[in-house]
Structure 1
Amino acid sequence: MDLILWRHAEAADADAGETDMERALTPKGHKQARRMADWLTAQLPEGCKILVSPAKRTVQTAEALGRKFKIVPEIGPGADEEDVLDAANWPNSKEPVLVVGHQPTLGQVAAVLLSSQPLDWEVKKGNVWWFVQRDPDDVYSLYLKAVMGPDMVMKS
């Protein structure tokens, strides 16, 4: 199974009266999302399932891909790594899964997958971490396929 973790791009601070869920991407964040979407478009298989937190900034990040996605409240701000892994059906999903979410959750997912420890690793804004587990019954078949940031994507 392929599990791709995409942290939302740069978002503005909440304005007066605005909730955390309403925070939108900044102009820089929109640029980051477009760059990563360009890279992901060239990499993702057609059948990839895309799961997105309901926060405005994650929805805007996912929209840059131009593909259908499902909003999953269980992976919103405050979710834990098990919530993300359960939503993705890790490691048993038959199709690749892209999760667009938040820190510290995505860093915790990465840490659990690679070290089996509940650590707070950082996934930078707009970055993608791509994991592959060839055999769902063999934890030793897990590897980190790619880590990519919007600043590493060539401008088109």
Structure 2
Amino acid sequence: MQRKILICRHAETFEPYPFQSDFERELTPNGTKQARATGVWLRENFNKIDYCLVSPAKRAQATARLIADKIYFDTENITYEPDLYNAQEKQLLKCLSNLPQHVKSVLLVAHNPGITRLARELTDRMVGYLEPANVLAVEIDLQEWEDIYITTGLVSAKNMLHA
């Protein structure tokens, strides 16, 4: 079964304030614009997204909600996965492998360097570093999500508007 993984880095954030945790960093006004533009790009290039899997960090949540609004995805259905916060590619793969089998397309909103490394692993290609609010779409033939560990896919589209 053909599946799509839309790998998205969160939008631009403020540098942390003194004593502010990395987890609490928020989007800049430009980051808000980036996320909205990415949502428009996704809406124009993909018919439907079945599942939205997001890091619970403030910046990733805000990015996902802004995108969801543009792609008509109910924000109540966004799944916030604690294991995605600053996850490396192995943890990202594990989260993807646990997706429900009915899911054909997923938007993953998380953090570098893990998401760029995930894109490289899923495509077996040297993919450029994902900048804030960039999306890389990977099409991959998986009978079950668990097969993600043994299958590579192809880059079908990319949004590098904010590089």
TM-score where L is the length of structure 1: 0.83
CA 1:90/1:112 → structure 2, altered by over 3 Å: closer, same or farther?
Answer: farther
Deviations 1:51-77 (A, max 9, x none): 110111101100112233110011111
CA separation in 2, counterparts of 1:21 and 1:56? 6
Tell me the residue number matched to 1:132. 139
CA separation in 1, counterparts of 2:79 and 2:95? 11
CA separation in 2, counterparts of 1:120 and 1:73? 26
Q: 1:58–1:100: 8 Å Cα contact kept in structure 2?
A: yes
- Tell me if 1:109 matches 2:92: no
CA separation in 2, counterparts of 1:90 and 1:73? 14
CA separation in 2, counterparts of 1:85 and 1:41? 25
CA separation in 1, counterparts of 2:65 and 2:128? 26
Q: Matched residue of 2:27: which SS?
A: coil
The equivalent position to 1:88 in structure 2, one of 82, 96, 103, is 96
The equivalent position to 1:31 in structure 2, one of 33, 36, 39, is 33
CA 1:47/1:113 → structure 2, altered by over 3 Å: closer, same or farther?
Answer: closer
CA separation in 1, counterparts of 2:99 and 2:57? 25
- Tell me if 1:143 matches 2:145: no
Deviations 1:70-99 (A, max 9, x none): 10011111x111211221227984421110
Q: CA deviation at 1:40?
A: 1.3
Q: 1:6–1:101: 8 Å Cα contact kept in structure 2?
A: yes
Output the amino acid matched with 2:90. Answer: E
Q: 2:9–2:109: 8 Å Cα contact kept in structure 1?
A: yes
Q: 1:36–1:126: 8 Å Cα contact kept in structure 2?
A: yes
Percent identical among aligned pairs is: 28
Q: 2:8–2:107: 8 Å Cα contact kept in structure 1?
A: yes
TM-score where L is the length of structure 2: 0.80
Q: How big is the alpha-carbon RMSD for the aligned residues of Structure 1 and Structure 2?
A: 2.5
The equivalent position to 1:18 in structure 2, one of 17, 20, 32, is 20
Q: 1:108–1:121: 8 Å Cα contact kept in structure 2?
A: no
Q: 2:132–2:162: 8 Å Cα contact kept in structure 1?
A: no
- Tell me if 1:2 matches 2:14: no
Q: CA deviation at 1:45?
A: 4.0
